[in-house]
Structure 1
Amino acid sequence: MALLVLSWEVVVALGAEKDIKIGCLFPTTGRAGRYGLDAMEAAKMAAEEINNKGGVLGKKIELLFTDEKPDPTFCVRVAKRYILEDKVNFLMGVVSSAVGLAVTEVSKEHKVIFVGTSHATTKTSVENWHPYYFRIGANTITGMRSGALFAEKKPWKKYYYIGPDYEYGQVQWTDFWPFLKKLRPDVEGVGESWPKLYEPDYTPYITAIMRGNPDVLVSGLWGGDTVAFIKQAEPYGLFNKMDYFHPDVGGNYEVFEALGEKMPKGLIMGTHHHLNWPDTDLNKEYVKKFRDKVGHYPITIGANSYVGVYFITKAIEEAGSVDNVEALVKAMEGIKIRTPLDPPGYTSWMRPLTHDIMQWRAIGVTEPNDKYPPAKYMLGKWIVFPPEKIIPSDKEVMELRTKRK
């Protein structure tokens, strides 16, 4: 493996010139750095597996990586350089929803397929949809609608929301609250807090939440921000005064790993990929392979990146070409692919209307579990939701696209 370090990027090559190039963007520094590093390792693991079996159509997979910062303007420049100078065949990755929305416009302009593996905003596949964007991984609407269906059965009446003040945090609340109000017209919102991404001090937000006296706090934080908030809220007794509900990515392994014994019991969380659900051989094999290779357990987006490389490979095989973009789009729209996220008897598939992969979502409760060290808690007592219960209908999708026009 050749490693080239430039002043502003890291590029990792796993193939030779004229092989299939995938230009990846993941954060590798700051609070989001663990997301990007695990995504990179999982993508490399998939590429190595494919290349060791002879590649695809006689070609090897080559991965290029750049730190997304996250900065939309910077990432637009990188995406254009990938396409115009590095001559990549595909774009892949991106954790920040704001960056995802920016990079998808580059994909559209240059008609280069962008396989989004990590950002969750629904807009990339609904309002801002175009034929060259595909999502491998969950979006906010499936995460928050599964949350609303879970909340419908709870006695909670008064809701408070905290989420980062940018696209991802905002769209979570938009996807959750109107849907819940249709299910439960009796619920009421008693407050909202909008800290900046990577906020260092949550004290004023914690005190505002406690003054609101909700039955439940719904959180849209993620990664290191979730860890920081829980650490800072625990001394105030916040988790004894209200339920904590974090349906989209609260249950990321990174949180359990960082908090260890300090993770409060009884928090209700979901995420995109769980180490201990589904209980299938495919999921167990993926988790073990990653840990054996990297030395720690993977966080949620690693599985998406791993599947993303296999998804691209499968499309190339079915299209019989890496250069015929329209044939690749058609192949991707019809793909069915078994993933570590699939429960027994289910196979993920690509929805042609939105180019979103159709997968189940699971919500659990934090409970003692030391099977995945250094974590001391994991999720259990699962409630699961099939995709047909949590995706927007065809009518909803078309209405949103019409409004944008």
Structure 2
Amino acid sequence: MRTPGLRPALRGIAVAAGILASTSLAARAERIVLGAAPEAAEVVVGCIYPMTGRAAIYGEDSVEGIRLALRDIASGKVTGTPGPRLRVVVDDDLSKASYGLRLAEDFIDKDHARVLCGMVSSGVAQAVSDLARRRSIILIGTDHASSRLTIEAGHPHYFRLSNDSWTSNAAGARYLRDIRASQPWQRIAILNPDYEYGHVSRDDLLTAMDGLGMKYEVVAELWPKLYEPDYSTYIQALKELKPDIVVTALWGGDFLAFLKQAAAVDLFSQMRVANFDTGANYDVLVQLGASPPPGLILSARHHNNWPDTPGNRRFVDDFHAMTGRYPTYAAEGAYSGIVAIAKAVAEVGNATDDKALIAVLEGMRLSLPEDPQGFASIIDPVTHQIMQAQAVGTPVANDRFPPAKAMLGNIRAYDAEDLRPPPDLVRARRAAAQPTQ
């Protein structure tokens, strides 16, 4: 169980470092239109992704994942026969909630979108999900991960088609439990981005560990801003506090910047670093090179080398043949979201009956690239969160997916059913989120 009184937030560090941050926003990218012509489309889908800045690779890979999904839908691989005809419009939210909200409104009012999709930032997703609730528009989340969107803030029109922060941290908690006999540890530190996703990830990890009856001590919680350029203050705090394991929800360029700066001062000889949600993303593995820092514990929402199934090999090979590069997990999330939309529209027969589409999506089974042999992902009818297996491991030498020289290895895989949030937890969090009378 967590030890009372041993979780100092050290918010002064976050504030001081935040003052130093200087992230400039590039001009917004041009919108992209994929799929059917307006007169032929059976449904218009409006997708929101970052296409510029540090997170641009996830928007770019999402677009390519959508292209691949549309190709598979047209060929009959998704529904057994060609169709339905989707028109997908993608625009750049600059990782800002205000832009994302405006884009969503324009998709609905100007493009006549019947479905919204996408988003990388959980902060953007929260704003757009609130709009989807008000406007009664189905929203398919494909990348952002805050479990709050499906638990506390869940509503009938919101679904998520990629692993969320609960799934990843439930797998991470089990991994930490499982290695304890051979690699004893007690003290952990949390290093998470100071916004929606980071705080929910912290809560999910500690709740999952408590649910397993684990004993541990949280020696610090550190909260850098999103897109923080300088982690030296946080790294110095970690060196002074000496946790056994640092668990971080930093992602993308932020995680890479932290790893580079931590390696420069030999942090990894003093403690292990774990990232259970995004750490084994392909773009991270590429940057780790042939000699990753020692002691890393990683996972991600999709892996190019796991599971080694025909479905995953086909997805990875098709993506590479189409783009000349291997996919980050964002590609598989976007692919899954578009496939789910197509299957729902095909079963209902049209895209105008929201109640029928919601009923079909609830409990939908999908055979997706990240599914181990013999398992199909399923959308939980209660939370609308897709339930999927998750692999946790360490980076090992592997040159099958160049330019990466390491991939996830020493894998421990956890079944989807074991990673479902307990019903009592869902009820309690939803009840606590209700406004007081």
| Alignment TM-score, normalising by the size of structure 2 | 0.88
Q: CA deviation at 1:396?
A: 1.7
Match of 2:62 among 39, 60, 78: 39
Q: Deviations over 1:250-274 (max 9, x none)?
A: 1111101123235224411011000
More displaced stretch, 107-116 vs 394-403? 394-403
RMSD: 1.8
Per-residue Cα deviation, 1:162-210 (whole angstroms, up to 9, x for no partner): 1111111111111111331343553101112111111111111111111
- Evaluate the alpha carbon distance shift between residue 322 and residue 192 of structure 1 in structure 2; reply closer, same or farther with a 3 A threshold: same
Q: Is residue 228 of structure 1 aligned with residue 257 of structure 2? A: yes
Q: Is residue 217–residue 245 contact of structure 1 (8 Å, CA) maintained in 2?
A: yes
The Cα shift of 1:38 comes to 0.3
Q: Is the partner of 1:261 in helix, strand or coil?
A: coil
Give 3-state SS (helix, strand or coil) of 2:45's partner.
Answer: strand
Match of 1:3 in 2: none
| 2:144 is aligned with 1:115 | no
User: 2:386 matched to which residue of 1?
Assistant: 357
1:9 Cα deviation (Å)?
3.9
The corresponding residue for 1:271 is 300
User: Of residues 192, 215, 218 in structure 2, which corresponds to 1:186?
Assistant: 215
Matched residue, 1:207: 236
Please list, as runs of the form range in 1=range in 2, the aligned pairs for 1:17-28 lying within 5 A after superposition.
17-18=38-39, 19=41, 20-28=43-51
1:128 maps to 2:153:
yes
In 2, the alpha carbon distance for the partners of 1:328 and 1:122 equals: 23
| Distance in 1 of aligned mates of 2:88 and 2:102 | 18
Q: Which residue among 30, 36, 42 is the counterpart of 1:15?
A: 36
Moved more, 256-265 or 340-349: 256-265
Gaps of 5+ in 1: 1-5
The range that moved more, 108-117 or 387-396, is: 387-396
Q: Which residue of 1 aligns with 2:321?
A: 292
The total of aligned residue pairs comes to 400
1:175 to 182, 204, 227: 204
- Separation in 2 of the partners of 1:397 and 1:143? 16
Residue 49 (1) aligns with residue 72 (2): yes
1:60 aligned residue: 85
Give 1:179's aligned amino acid: A
Aligned partner of 1:159: which letter? I
User: What corresponds to 2:309 in structure 1?
Assistant: 280
State the one-letter code of the partner of 2:38. E
Instruction: Give the aligned partner of residue 98 of structure 2.
Output: 73
Report whether the alignment pairs 1:103 with 2:124.
no
Per-residue CA shift, 1:263-312, capped at 9, x if unaligned?
Answer: 22441101100011111000000000001101100001211111111111
Please give the residue correspondences for 1:328-339 in structure 2 after superposition, counting only pairs within 5 Å: 328-339=357-368
Question: Residues of 1 paired with 2:72 and 2:29: CA distance?
Answer: 29
The yes-or-no answer on 1:345 pairing with 2:357 is no
- Which residue identity does 1:47 align to in structure 2? L
Cα distance in 1 for residues equivalent to 2:30 and 2:422: 41
- Secondary structure class of the residue paired with 2:290: helix
Q: How far 1:247 sits from its partner (Å)?
A: 1.0
Residue segments in structure 2 that go unaligned for 5+ positions in a row:
1-26
Q: State which of 364, 387, 394 in structure 1 corresponds to 2:423.
A: 394
Any conservation in 2 of the 1:350–1:356 contact (CA below 8 Å)?
yes
The residue that corresponds to 2:23 in the other structure is: none
